[in-house]
Structure 1
């Protein structure tokens, strides 16, 4: 019998969660942990009790367990009784606040539960007791449990209370999924420990590095002091640029860009750019310096407390450096597919932060981010030289150009038009939207803020010279120098479907999305959704829906020809005959005669 065939027996209530975690680690390739941790046997436990009931159950069950001279018997009783009472792991972490007069008994009980509990709530009791009364000898058991779904955060809290060695957290990062690194790294960043600072300074900064995490790392390693040193070193310069770039994205966590909360930001930008010529000219260095310039030109860093002229001076320095022959030559030396894609991105964005002025009135910057960090393109709207969305709506992000420019929403007419410039990162119903009305008033264009249902920001009235406004909107709408071939194809297909709503309606398909397959791919992906559930049905009919996917690989033709051919096929042939099932109700799909992919 193989290890995987044995899994059901190890998922029963006869096996402790500690041993189950060891088993899962042993059978996974390279000891890999999935995002969020290994799933618990039987799935996540349900929430059943209210806070007052939780306190009553703990007060009833815990004292007898602590009074039992046999910790094994007491642990077994709690392991049996807590799930019977409907306890959830999150319910019991508050027991650390309860008085524990018999500390030795509580410690013994906690350690026993940590190693033998089969129920998640009982394991949570063990973690809480060990966190309050345990010691270094409990660290191995805790790190074993950390790989289980829902237990990483309480384990990290407990490890902090036990003051575990820095090396323990470093090893934990090595086995967790990258999606879960941020919590451990944040704890490392909170330590005044030279070993932690050195490890953080060498930490790879990539797509999984969140903006908040980047700020905590920069503070922990004392980045400003490192960069202002006489000889900071090229590794420190490059890492500093990467951290600044990861702090700059708008509203990534539903709040202001982290760069605006990073107090040494101006010092760090100045020290880094003044020493940027010490970096060797490489493709990666070119990309991170260009990203710095894009944000200094039109991103949230514009809103920092700059001395007059300093930001403009730093942009001039970056432009001069990246224009030198050695730096320009690195683009032609790209060898791998991903490097060539990144070099093409640099060519598209190279002049964006340097050729544009930011005069009074409206200015629109379309900025594509480094493909190493995704396929994101932002329409950054600047009013009087200051980026609008991060200034007045920190919960939101700048819109994609396909939305605000592709549909020509900013065009001003005497008839008032309402335009949503940004939706909250969390949800429109939570923090609202940034919405304005646009109308022409004689020789002026007027923007007037609107507030939806009492939530979200309300802009003051802005008046623009109509001729200058029209020219800027038209320039931004027709400029596609930022757009790579696949995205251009996707934009034209989406625009064609928007202009010809009957094209898909004839096949009974009300919803569609079109985008590229990824930052390094030229394949275009069109997704189509239909069925009663998509059209607003309720009850049992709501589950009857299907999403199809049609992938269009690059065939070497220009975007206009690729898009025209795709739209022609959609107009003449039912896409349900060639698009593949991606998601939805399989039984409903089969009833329509759709071909489903083979089950794995």
Structure 2
């Protein structure tokens, strides 16, 4: 070891608390850059090994040193014992609950020492858990400071709630945490119900991609949103927040939307519409109101227990505002924007507002009327493009299944699955976000009987409890000629696509028609689509080898090829990609993304090292 290496090894390491405090002082009102990464203990984190039970047992053994005595010596011994354990904050908290501890004052002192001086996140987590059980309100400043680090935000939120901190401590940390990590803090603020928490919840902007629908509902209930909307005066920011909360409640970004469980949904909609004249026009506000309009037409908002004509009246009011020149001017101004996100949002608005959405129920006749609607969500939100099916104006998929969205148009329409033949066909109309095997899917059997198309045998295999309680449609019958006309129209309508989505469709069609393009490299196509966070990127996945090779123990791996926006027309982008697939083995330029380390090694590939931070 060189002299410089020896000095580096002997030098005291920076505590996580001091690291957080230093970064915080550089920008006191902002989240730490990249959650505080790289952390001082980054290089000391072990690779994951052993089961959860084995790791927890190892931690419980390490925690046996918490038997009283000198605080600093105990802290050092604890640090030494946990160095080789790969643990999560939750595992630390649960393991600590199973260990008998000495008196509260000693645990409190040890907890403070660990949070303030520990140089490893695992010992900081032990300290936060100890303060959660024995801390005092005056420990809140210490807890919230280390909670600025992304790895400590969750356990710090638990500890703040446990020590009964002030509302200001929760909101302070929430404002300085990444939106994806503030969920526990907002949940805690929702339970406070005091004026300070309600003011903060109504003022803090929500990120539609990261705010769960259930949390938006909690905020609306905690702040008494419907009542707030009837108050005088009402500032524009609060009015916009109300629209945002309703829009997020219609988003299915934590498995299901929450608008149906929000008991004040209809009064809140009505109160919002009464105040629309006070909402200043902007691209963001336009997108919010348009999202509400689309959901009222074919989403779960359409299924609320509306009084006759009330849903239509609210829709007319929303349309009236969105068609005003001051509002349409916001979209026109964004079309040439240098910001690609703004341009994409403006393009989405122009298409969605140009579509015809009739709220009037179809005239009753011998056969039910079917409408197929491809719905593209706000690009700033979390949803996927879905194929909504309306029968007599009722969205039947949303009515029967709440654990996931309707299937994509590429799946239902691109593969012709809704076409009816004399041979009955089972069609999956929707699948849970997690997979059918976990929380279920919605199926129907489609068949042609003479001049009638029949949908029957609705079922939800593996449905969650909430989905199983929803009513399933009965047998539905359609005039075959009208049915065929509507399905053909929907299959040939690609006006909803943006360029990258068109590229993905063209690639999928060619690879299905010409399996040899990938087959020559012993590869099989998987999913092809646009990335939810980067909608201008096309992702093409494939597996190798196909079929798995017996001489390698049937090992296989998955690759993903990402095609960035090249600025050329979709047809040219697709042709260029197909030429490369035909000429060069895609395993040489795509990214290894699935399978296993063992399979990759057996097939001669290098398994990617992924960051654990």
Q: How does 1:160-179 map to 2 (within 5 A)?
A: 160-179=161-180
Summarize the Cα distance change of 1:9–1:148 in structure 2 as closer, same or farther, 3 Å threshold.
Answer: farther
Query: C-alpha deviations, 1:316-363, integer Å up to 9, x for none?
Result: 222223223333333322252443332221110004363465434422
Distance 1:247 1:451 in 2: 26
Could you list the per-position Cα deviations for residues 354-385 of structure 1 after superposition, in whole angstroms to 9, with x for gaps in the alignment? 34654344222211112222683221122343
Whether 1:527 and 2:532 are equivalent positions in the alignment is no
Match of 2:135 in 1: 134
1:240 aligned to which of 236, 239, 242: 242
1:316 paired with 2:312, answer no
User: How far did residue 141 of structure 1 move?
Assistant: 2.8
Tell me if 1:487 matches 2:501: yes
RMSD: 4.4
Distance 1:500 1:233, change over 3 A: same
Alpha-carbon shift at residue 485 of structure 1 (Å) = 3.4
Query: In structure 1, what is the Cα distance between the partners aligned to 2:128 and 2:578?
Result: 62
User: Which residue number in structure 2 is paired with residue 583 of structure 1?
Assistant: 592
In structure 2, how many angstroms separate the alpha carbons of the residues matched to 1:566 and 1:527?
14
Deviations 1:123-178 (A, max 9, x none): 44432332232223322332243245654322211101222233333332344333
* Contact 2:525–2:543, Cα closer than 8 Å, also in 1: yes
Aligned residues of 2:60 and 2:98 also touching (Cα < 8 A): no
Cα distance between partner residues in 2 of 1:485 and 1:129: 54
Residue 247 of structure 1 and its aligned partner are, at CA, apart by: 1.0
Out of 385, 397, 404, the residue aligned to residue 393 of structure 2 is 385
Q: CA deviation at 1:410?
A: 0.2
Contact map agreement 2:428 2:441 (CA 8 A) in 1 = yes
Contact conserved, 1:514 with 1:527, CA < 8 A, in 2?
yes
Cα deviation for residue 315 of structure 1 reads 0.9
SS at match of 1:439: strand
Q: CA deviation at 1:109?
A: 2.9
Once residues 280 and 426 of structure 1 are traced to their aligned partners in structure 2, the CA distance between those partners, rounded to angstroms, is 39
Q: Which SS does the other structure have where 1:354 is aligned? A: coil
Q: Determine if contact 2:526/2:543 at 8 Å carries over to the other structure.
A: no
- Structure 2: distance between partners of 1:136 and 1:506: 67
Following TM superposition, by how much is the alpha carbon of 1:434 offset from its aligned partner in structure 2, in angstroms?
1.2
Check the 8 A contact 1:533/1:544 in 2, yes or no: no
User: Counterparts in 2 of 1:54-73, with a 5 A limit?
Assistant: 61-62=65-66, 65-66=67-68, 68=69, 70-73=70-73
Q: How many residues align?
A: 583
> How far 1:18 moved relative to its partner?
4.1
3-state SS of the aligned residue for 1:497?
helix
Range with greater deviation from structure 2 (205-214 or 352-361): 352-361
Alpha carbons of 1:109 and 1:181: their partners in 2 closer, same or farther (altered >3 Å)?
Answer: closer
Q: TM (normalized to structure 1)?
A: 0.82
CA separation of 1:484 and 1:121: change in aligned 2, threshold 3 A: closer
Query: Which of 202, 210, 216 is the matching residue for 1:214?
Result: 216
* 8 Å CA contact 1:546, 1:584 repeated in 2: yes
- CA distance, structure 1, for counterparts of residue 525 and residue 572 of structure 2: 21
* Corresponding residue number in structure 1 for 2:158: 157
CA deviation after TM superposition for structure 1 residue 427, in Å: 2.2
296-305 or 429-438: which moved more? 429-438
Deviations 1:267-292 (A, max 9, x none): 11111123213323333322221111
Q: Deviations over 1:240-296 (max 9, x none)?
A: 11111111023x323x31111211111111111232133233333222211111011
Distance 1:577 1:542, change over 3 A: closer
Q: 1:339 to 1:73 in 2, by over 3 A?
A: closer
1:468 maps to 482
Of stretches 268-277 and 484-493 in structure 1, the one that deviates more from structure 2 is 484-493
Q: 1:453 to 1:517 in 2, by over 3 A?
A: closer
Change beyond 3 A, Cα 1:278–1:584: closer
1:435-454 alignment, distance < 5 Å: 435-449=443-457, 451=459
- Are the structure 2 counterparts of residues 301 and 448 from structure 1 closer, same or farther at C-alpha, using a change threshold of 3 Å? same
Could you tell me the TM-score, scaled by structure 2's length?
Answer: 0.81
Decide whether the 8 Å contact of 1:529 with 1:546 is kept in 2. yes
Alpha-carbon separation, structure 1, partners of 2:56 and 2:144? 31
Note the alpha carbon deviations across 1:203-240, whole angstroms, 9 max, x for none: 22233333222222222332111212244332222221
> Which whole-Å CA distance do the structure 1 matches of 2:484 and 2:324 have between them?
36
- Relative distance call for 1:329 and 1:424 in structure 2 (3 A) is same
Q: What are the Cα deviations for residues 458-504 of structure 1, in whole angstroms up to 9, with x where unaligned?
A: 76433333233223222322233322333233323322322333333
Change over 3 Å in CA distance of 1:8–1:348 after alignment to 2: farther
**For 2:305 and 2:540, how far apart are their aligned partners in 1?**
44
Deviations 1:418-473 (A, max 9, x none): 21111111222112221222111123212233657665767643333323322322
Shift of 1:596: 14
Residues of 2 paired with 1:488 and 1:35: CA distance? 39
Structure-2 change in CA distance of 1:517 and 1:78 (3 Å): closer
Structure 1 residues 357-436: aligned runs within 5 Å: 357-359=360-362, 360-373=368-381, 376-436=384-444
Q: Deviations over 1:42-67 (max 9, x none)?
A: 147765647996998599654xx23x
C-alpha distance in 2 between matches for 1:244 and 1:519: 22
Gaps of 5+ in 1: none
1:221-300 counterparts in 2 under 5 A? 221-250=223-252, 252-254=253-255, 256-300=256-300
Partner SS for 1:396: coil
Structure 2 residue 583 is matched with structure 1 residue 574: yes
Q: Which moved more, 1:379-388 or 1:237-246?
A: 379-388
CA distance in 1, matches of 2:128, 2:317: 54
